[in-house]
Amino acid sequence: MIENSCQVCRDLIPLVKDNVASEESRKLVLEHIRQCGACKDEYENGYGTLPEMDDERVLQKIKRRLFFMALATVVIGALIGIGLTEGPGVFYNIIIMPLVGGIAYFALNRRSLYFPFVLFVLSYIWTLIKYIFDSSFPTGGIINLFIAPIFMSVIYSGLALFGIVIAFLLKFAFRKEVDHEKDN
Report the pLDDT value the prediction gives residue 74, as an integer from 0 to 100. 87
Domains in the chain: boundaries: 2-45, 55-183
113-135 pLDDT, tens digit per residue, is 899 999 999 889 888 888 778 76
- Mean pLDDT to the nearest integer, 77-103: 84
C-alpha span between 149 and 129 (Å, rounded): 10
The band of 5, judged by pLDDT with boundaries at 50, 70 and 90, is confident
- Mean pLDDT to the nearest integer, 81-110: 85
127 by Cβ neighbours in 10 Å (0-12 / 13-18 / 19+) ranks as: buried
33-58 pLDDT, tens digit per residue, is 888 888 888 888 775 555 566 788 88
C-alpha span between 102 and 93 (Å, rounded): 14
Q: Is 48 left (phi over 0), alpha (psi -120 to 50) or beta?
A: alpha
Report the pLDDT value the prediction gives residue 160, as an integer from 0 to 100. 93
Check residues 142 and 122 and name the one with the higher pLDDT. 122
- Mean pLDDT to the nearest integer, 136-142: 65
